[in-house]
Structure 1
Amino acid sequence: MTAGSRAHSFNSAAAQYEASRPSYPQELLGFVEEFLGRSLAGVRVADVGAGTGIATTLLRERGADVIGVEPGDGMAAQFHRVLPDVPIVRGDGNALPLADSSHDLITYAQSWQWTDTSRSVPEALRVLRANGALAIWWNTTAFDVPWIRVQHERIAHHCGAPARSAVRPDDSEAVRLAGLTGLRVVRRQIRWHRTVTLDTHLANISSRSAFLVLDHAANRVFLTEERRRLSEAFPDELLDETYVVDLLVAARR
């Protein structure tokens, strides 16, 4: 299964993605403002791999002049339904459909891994103004929460993938892995929580690309068993999901 087919698998589940995926803590954008040295109000932002507009919504609430960039038909259609007044253009991080030196900030929420950094980094620098920045972030697994750690292992096994290490890379290794070597980069890890119903939690799991490309019948069996386990552990069927946002903000030196 290619990375491209996994990336485009989201289009078949765009409404589910919008309804169940977690957002991000306000502290994240507060740190981006600190890095920029100014409020996001009026700042020209391109949200790349915008999906259904989860991060775009937060940027707009901060007063940013934001545009979405999204390659997928289904995701872009859902974006239009959620944010009908926000412009969105079709494209991806490897070939941004944006003018040179046209934006102050380019964001990649859960989307940087779908880019080829040998192309996406030069593209970002081309589009950014001289004092601009790019910000990439992911909601990552809180491995110190026992039930979340063991569920991650079950999901990885079901998807035929190795479980991720509970040890996060140090700052220099994170910068290298993200392809941002040579830039001025600051990293922050922000812990946050949300409480959701069991239905929303399972919908979130099954909206992931690793699930979407698998056999539907096998997924149903896995999710049925996961519902049974979690119903026993959380009789009220309310789950406190814990995330650690891993954020890298970069600019020219």
Structure 2
Amino acid sequence: MTASSRAQSFDVAAAQYAASRPAYPAVLFDSVEELSGCRLAGARVADVGAGTGIASALLRERGAEVIAVEPGEAMAGEFHQALSGVPIVRGDGNALPLAEASCDLITYAQSWQWTDPGRSLPEALRVLRAGGALAIWWNTTAFDVPWIREQHERIALHCGVKPRAAVRPSDSEAIRLAGLTGLRVARRQVRWSRTVSLDMHLANIGSRSAFLVLEEDARHAFFLDERERLGRAFPGEELEETYILDLLVALRP
């Protein structure tokens, strides 16, 4: 299964994605402003791989003038329903449908990994104005929480993917892995959590690409077992999802 196929898989679960995926804490956007030197209020921001609009909505709340870029038809449809006043164009980070030097900030929330940095980075630099910045971030696994770590390992085994290393990469390694070597890059990690119902949690993990590319029977078998397992661990059917939000901000040369 190619990265492109997995990236395109979200369209089949766009409504589920919109309803269950976690958002981001306010401190993220404080950090973006601090590390980029760009005040969001009044800034022209391109949110690339915008999905159903989770990050776009929060950027707009901070006063940013947002334009979204999203390749998926169903995801873009969910975005339009939630944020009808925010322009959204079809496209992806490897070939941005945006004018040269037209943005103060470009953001990738959970989506940089679906691009080819050899193409998407030059595109970002083309679209950024002088003094602009590229901000990319992910809600990543809190491996120090035992039940979350154990669930991550079960998911990897069931989906036939390699579990992520519990040790987080150093700043220099994270920058290298993101393809941002050679730029001025700052990194910040933020721990945060949300409390959700068991059903919401299962819908959240079911909206991940690793599950969306599986056959229906394989998905059903995992979630039947997982609901029983977590129901025993959390008899109130409410649990706390903990994340380590990993942010990289690169300044345009």
TM-score (normalizing by structure 2): 0.99
Structure 2 Cα separation of the partners of residues 28 and 138 of structure 1 = 11
Match of 1:225 in 2: 225
**Residues 145-189 of structure 1, C-alpha deviations (whole Å, 9 max, x = no match):** 000000000000000011111001100000000000111000000
Q: What RMSD in Å do the two structures reach over aligned CA positions?
A: 0.7
Tell me if structure 1 keeps the 8 A contact 2:36–2:249: no
User: 1:97 and 1:144, CA in 2 relative to 1: closer, same or farther beyond 3 A?
Assistant: same
Residue 134 of structure 1 is matched in structure 2 by 134
Give the Cα separation in 1 of the matches to 2:54 and 2:84.
13
In structure 1, C-alpha distance between the alignment counterparts of 2:193 and 2:181, rounded to whole Å? 31
Q: Is the 8 A contact 2:6 2:213 kept in 1?
A: yes
Matched residue type, 2:56: T
CA distance in 2, matches of 1:88, 1:252: 24
Which residue of 2 is the match for residue 80 of structure 1?
80
Report the CA distance between 1:252 and its aligned residue.
2.8
Question: Given the alignment of the two structures, is residue 179 of structure 1 paired with residue 179 of structure 2, yes or no?
Answer: yes
| Residue equivalent to 1:123 | 123
Alignment of 1:157-176 (within 5 A): 157-176=157-176
Within a 5 Å distance, the mapping from 1:49-128 to structure 2 comes to: 49-128=49-128
Say which is worse superposed, 111-120 or 31-40, in terms of deviation: 31-40
Give the conservation status (yes or no) of the 8 Å contact 2:67–2:86. yes
**SS of 2:33 mapped into structure 1:** helix
Deviation at 1:218, TM superposition (A): 1.3
Supply the distance in 2 between the matched residues of 1:129 and 1:99 (Cα, whole angstroms).
10
Measured in 2, the distance between the counterparts of 1:6 and 1:142 equals 23
Q: CA deviation at 1:5?
A: 1.1
Q: Which amino acid counterpart does residue 218 of structure 2 have in structure 1?
A: A
* Number of the residue aligned with 2:28: 28
> In the TM superposition, what is the alpha-carbon distance from 1:137 to its structure 2 partner?
0.3
Indicate the SS of the match to 1:131: strand
Amino acid at match of 1:51: G
How many angstroms apart in 1 are the aligned matches of 2:252 and 2:2? 32
What are structure 1's unaligned runs of at least 5 residues? none
SS in 1 for 2:226: helix
Mark the CA change 1:177 to 1:38 in structure 2 (over 3 Å): closer, same or farther: closer
Match of 1:151 in 2: 151
> CA shift at 1:35, angstroms?
1.9
Letter in 2 for 1:173: E
Q: SS of 1:132's equivalent?
A: strand
Q: TM-score scaled by structure 1?
A: 0.99
Aligned to 1:194: 194
Identity of aligned residues (%): 73
- 1:38 offset after TM fit, Å? 4.2
Amino acid at match of 1:198: L
How many residues of Structure 1 are paired with residues of Structure 2 in the alignment? 253
How far apart, in 1, do the equivalents of 2:67 and 2:136 lie? 16
Answering whether residue 9 of structure 2 is matched by residue 15 of structure 1, we say no
Can you give the 5+ residue segments of structure 2 that lack an aligned partner in the other structure? none
- 1:93-131 Cα offsets, whole Å, 9 max, x none, are 000000000000000000000000000000000000011
CA distance in 2, matches of 1:38, 1:230: 43
Structure 1 residue 24 displacement after superposition: 0.7
CA positional deviation for 1:36: 2.9
Question: 1: CA distance between counterparts of 2:210 and 2:21?
Answer: 15
CA distance in structure 2 between the aligned counterparts of 1:185 and 1:5, rounded to whole angstroms: 30
The equivalent of 1:46 in structure 2 is 46
Q: CA deviation at 1:236?
A: 0.5
Hey, what's the Cα distance between the residues in 2 that align with 1:231 and 1:138? 28
